[in-house]
Structures are given as C-alpha cells and as structure tokens.
Amino acid sequence: MSEPPRQPAASASAVSQAIEGARSTQDAHPYGLLIVDDEEAILESLELTLAEDYRVFTATNGPDGLEILEREEINLVIVDQVMPEMSGVEFLEEVIARKPETIRMMLTGYADVHSIVRAINDGRIYRYIQKPWEPDELRVDVKRALETYHLTAENAQLGAALAAANERLRAENLYLRREVQRQYAFDQILGESPSMQRVFDVMEKVAETDATVLIGGETGTGKDLVARAIHYAGPRKERRFVAQNCGALPDTLLESELFGHKRGAFTGAHADKKGLFELADGGTIFLDEIGETEPGMQVRLLRVLQDGEIRPLGSSETRKVDVRILAATNRDLRAAVESQRFREDLYYRLRVVEIELPPLRERREDVPALAHHFLDVANDKMNRQIQGFTNAAMDLLTACPWSGNVRELENEIERAVALAGDVEMLGPDMFSEHLRKEVAAEVGRSIELPDEHDLNRAVDVLKRKMIETAVAETGSKTRAAERLGIPRQSLQKMMKRLEMD
C-alpha cells in the first residue's frame, strides 16, 4: 500500500484555514457602533476601548452622525449629552425616528439627574455612561446591551416567523376544509339508477334542515358517504362533522367518548375530557352502527334527542348542546325493535327521515359508471393509463351479486389495476377468484329448474327468465341480444312469441 499523497491535503487545509481566518475577522465585528461627541479626545479614547471588538464609526456633531446612521449598519449609538449643534437628547429622538431598534447610550459629564432619568424612563436611552468611565466597565456595558439587542431582534424574527406560519396554517385549513367539502359533495356520489335518484332527492331536501336522519343499507352501500354529504351540503358545513362507530367500543368507553367524563369518573380518567357531542357543538355527529348500542346507551341517546342535553360521565350536571344527529345501521332496526333489542321511542326519534341505500345488485345499471370512476381513481393513484374494460369484463362486473356492495367493487378494481400492469383494457381474467366464484354461484342460482314438466314449456320459462334478466341488466335489447349470443332480430321475434312486451 502506498502512502496517500500528502501535498494536496496539506494545501487544501491551508486554504480552508485562510478562508476561516478571513471569516473570523469579519465575524469578530458583527456589530456597528456610532459614537458622537464634539470632543475629539473623547472620541479617540472611546474608539480605543471599543475598536478591537466592534466596527466603530465616529462623528463630531449630530448631523454627521445621522448621515453615518443612514449609511452604515449601526446597532448601538453612544452620544454626548451636551453638544453645540444638536443636543444628545435631540440626536436620540432622530435615531428613534429613523432606526428605532438601535440601542442608545448617553455620555454625561455631570449628573443632570433629571433629564437622564426622564430619558431612561421614556425608553429613549438604554443607559448612561458617566465621564470619566472605566474602560472595562464600558466594554461590559456595551456587550450586555448588544446581547439584549440580539435577543430582541431574534424575538422579533421568531414572532414574525410564527405569524407567517400561523397565516399559512390558516390558509391551509381553509383549503383543506374546501377540499373536504368538495370531496363530499353530492356529485361525488354516483348513481343514475332510479333508486339512487330517489336517495339524492331526499338528501337534497334534508340537508338544509336539522332533521335527524337514519341511514340504512348493507355494508359498503355508501352510508358513511351519504352522512358526510348531508353535513357538507347543509348550513352546518363550516362546523365539525364527527363520527363514532357505536359498535366498536364497550359501553362505558363509548359513553365517555360521546359524552365526556370528569376526572376520576373511572380508573384511568386522569383528567376531565370533552365528549364528541360537545366537540360537535354547532355541527353534526354521525352515530354509525347505532343498532349495536346497549340499552343504557339508548336511554342516554334518547335524552340528547329529546332535550339536547348531555351529562359527562361522573358529573352531576347536564349541559346543552346543539348537534345534528345522523345515524346509520346495516341491521334491520325495526326487527330489533320487535324483538325488544332496540328501544322503540329511540327508533322513532332517529328515523324522522329515513334513507335506505339499495344494495348494488338491485341497481346493476350503476355498475359501469362506478367501475369507470374507480378505474380513474386507481389509474391516478398508481400512475397507470388503463383505458377501460373489455365487454366480457364488464359483463362479469354487472353480473356479480356484490355482497360487499360498492366497497367490494372499489377494492376489486383497485386490485385489478394493481395486478394488471401496463394493459390497455381490464379483462375478466384480471379479477379475483372470489369474484368469479360469486358470479358463478349467482348464475347457478338463477338457472334453477323451472316448475314445469313439459319440456317445451319449461324451456320457454327459462328463455323468458334469461331474456328478462339480460334486458334488465344490460338496459338495452341490443346489448341483451349480444350477451345471449343471438341476433337482435331473433331476440325480438322470441320476445314477441313469448308475449314479453
């Protein structure tokens, strides 16, 4: 192994030393001092005391001093009190007017206590220096004054930075709120089917009011989405929307979440805590899976609905809140009332307006638009350029019973996009095994044997059933004929013979 060449290393360090040296002489004099006195001897001696540590400028009269003040970066001025042209106090008034952040010190030959005390009290001077001065003391005084200056400047800077950050946060908040409002706007909920159009009608009417709404529907049908859209379309949109899943917590914890608690209300309650009802004051609370609540909780919810009153856990006082309540359930609440698992009075209070979201399999005509929407979202998210679905793929999607409803469709498409890679169209083979099984089972169910023993009549029953389904699901005779694998004219003839119009 050969020794590393020493020459370049040594010269590099010499260069860096030279640079550091240059910087340190500059850095040693970050502060500029201005001394104004009509006696040259005093100027000289002050300069001698201070020039080693500061950039010192001198002037023998006020006007010259002001000129330097304007031209140079001056952090501290020392001025003689008694001067022929402009007195020390007059000079300092000018300094205050021009560069108010400059630290001001006054030299005084005799103790004119009154004017100096007044000047100090008025904040015009930082302190006075009595002639003759002790050089070391003066150096300490100046150093302290500049430290104060530094801190004040830093404070001001931090204050300004904080104000700017606050302003940014405020703007960001506003932006985010707009974003959320946009994200949950009605037009983000897709559905051309008559059943969804009816849902939109009710939503629109109810959004403007404070009415309690009970949203029903199987899992994944969009209950959450509808609740948020109602809130963000209504007069409470600038206030909070808070959601709580009532099925997710044991009773006591749920009570404390919703109503808050006093310190010591239960083990672990170390401090008072506000509940969601108070946080949502003026806004909306969304009680998801309301069907899962225990009887005790049902009583408490009834009280809020009746009197707008809540009582934090462990507190003896009740509080009024102004909160709009939206609730959702995927259970049959009426059945729960009948079997006495849900209070009837609460049920009626909740379903002032009822919105029932239809399962996706009962509005298959919405599938293509939803599928394309989720494809767009997934394309964006994963930076893909998939154009659409092959006919066979779309047939598969429309035939699926979607037990997980829109959520399942969304996941299925996201998964397909992730796995498909760079294809132009999504084909049926790109969907999950689970989906294909679901479709196969559905098709199996739909060709149950007809209740007919005569073969011809039985075949007619089956034909009628298949044509009905194909027309309903594809929405047009042309597409239905395509799916059934027969020409359109044949379909029309067949429908006529089967008296299907």
Ligand X SMILES: Nc1ncnc2c1ncn2[C@@H]1O[C@H](COP(=O)(O)OP(=O)(O)OP(=O)(O)O)[C@@H](O)[C@H]1O
Q: Which positions touch Mg ion (CB under 5 A)?
A: 223-224
Partner from ligand X, Mg ion, none binding residue 221, C-beta < 5-8 Å depending on class: ligand X
Query: Which residue from 148, 219, 306, 478 is in contact with ligand X, where contact means CB under 6 A?
Result: 219
Q: Which is nearer to ligand X, 326 or 393 (CB)?
A: 326
Partner from Mg ion, ligand X, none binding residue 222, C-beta < 5-8 Å depending on class: ligand X
Q: Which is nearer to ligand X, 273 or 415 (CB)?
A: 415
Task: Tell me which H or E stretch contains 473.
Answer: helix 455-474
Q: Which long-range contacts (CB under 8 A, 24 or more apart) does 40-49 make?
A: 42/80, 42/107, 42/131, 46/78, 46/138, 49/135, 49/138, 49/139
Q: How many residues does the chain have?
A: 501
Partner from Mg ion, ligand X, none binding residue 407, C-beta < 5-8 Å depending on class: ligand X
Q: Least CB distance from residue 475 to Mg ion, whole Å?
A: 29
Site for ligand X in 280-339 (CB under 6 A): 330
Q: Is residue 305 within 8 Å of 346, Cβ to Cβ?
A: yes
Span interacting with ligand X, options 220-228, 312-320, 428-436, 459-467, rule CB under 6 A: 220-228
Site for ligand X in 329-388 (CB under 6 A): 330
Q: Is 401 a binder of ligand X (CB under 6 A)? A: no
Q: Mention every residue, 6+ apart, whose C-beta is less than 8 A from residue 385.
A: 379, 422
Partner from Mg ion, ligand X, none binding residue 191, C-beta < 5-8 Å depending on class: ligand X
Partner from Mg ion, ligand X, none binding residue 141, C-beta < 5-8 Å depending on class: none
Q: Which is nearer to ligand X, 223 or 364 (CB)?
A: 223
Query: Which residue from 221, 244, 284, 474 is in contact with ligand X, where contact means CB under 6 A?
Result: 221
SS3 string, 131-181, reads: CCCCHHHHHHHHHHHHHHHHHHHHHHHHHHHHHHHHHHHHHHHHHHHHHHH
Partner from ligand X, Mg ion, none binding residue 406, C-beta < 5-8 Å depending on class: ligand X
Span interacting with ligand X, options 81-89, 96-104, 187-195, 436-444, rule CB under 6 A: 187-195
Q: Which is nearer to ligand X, 260 or 401 (CB)?
A: 401
Query: Which residue from 96, 189, 243, 336 is in contact with ligand X, where contact means CB under 6 A?
Result: 189
Question: Pick from 322, 258, 352: which is nearest to 296 by CA?
Answer: 258
Q: Least CB distance from residue 328 to Mg ion, whole Å?
A: 6
66 vs 248: CA distance, rounded Å: 73
Q: Least CB distance from residue 174 to ligand X, whole Å?
A: 24
Site for ligand X in 406-425 (CB under 6 A): 406-407, 410
Q: Which is nearer to Mg ion, 104 or 223 (CB)?
A: 223
Q: Is residue 430 within 8 Å of 378, Cβ to Cβ?
A: no
Query: Looking up tokens 């159009």, which residue turns up?
Result: 197
66 vs 80: CA distance, rounded Å: 14
Phi, psi for 342 (deg, rounded to 5): -135, 135
From residue 55 to residue 94, the character string flagging contacts with ligand X as x (rule: CB under 6 A) and all else as - is ----------------------------------------
Partner from ligand X, Mg ion, none binding residue 330, C-beta < 5-8 Å depending on class: ligand X
Strand-pair category, 425-426 with 388-389? parallel
Q: Is 191 a binder of ligand X (CB under 6 A)? A: yes
Q: Least CB distance from residue 459 to ligand X, whole Å?
A: 39
Q: Which is nearer to ligand X, 50 or 394 (CB)?
A: 394
Alpha-helix residue ranges (DSSP H) falling in 266-343: 276-279, 295-307, 333-338
Strand partners, 129: 107
Q: Is 261 a binder of ligand X (CB under 6 A)? A: no
Query: Looking up tokens 């004099």, which residue turns up?
Result: 29
CA 9 to chain centre: 53
304 vs 287: CA distance, rounded Å: 13
Q: Determine if residue 390 is left, alpha or beta; phi over 0 gives left, psi from -120 to 50 gives alpha, anything else beta.
A: beta
Give me the torsion for CA of 102, 107, 112, 115, rounded to 10°.
-10
Q: Which is nearer to ligand X, 83 or 394 (CB)?
A: 394
Residues in touch with ligand X (CB under 6 A): 189-191, 217, 219-225, 330, 406-407, 410
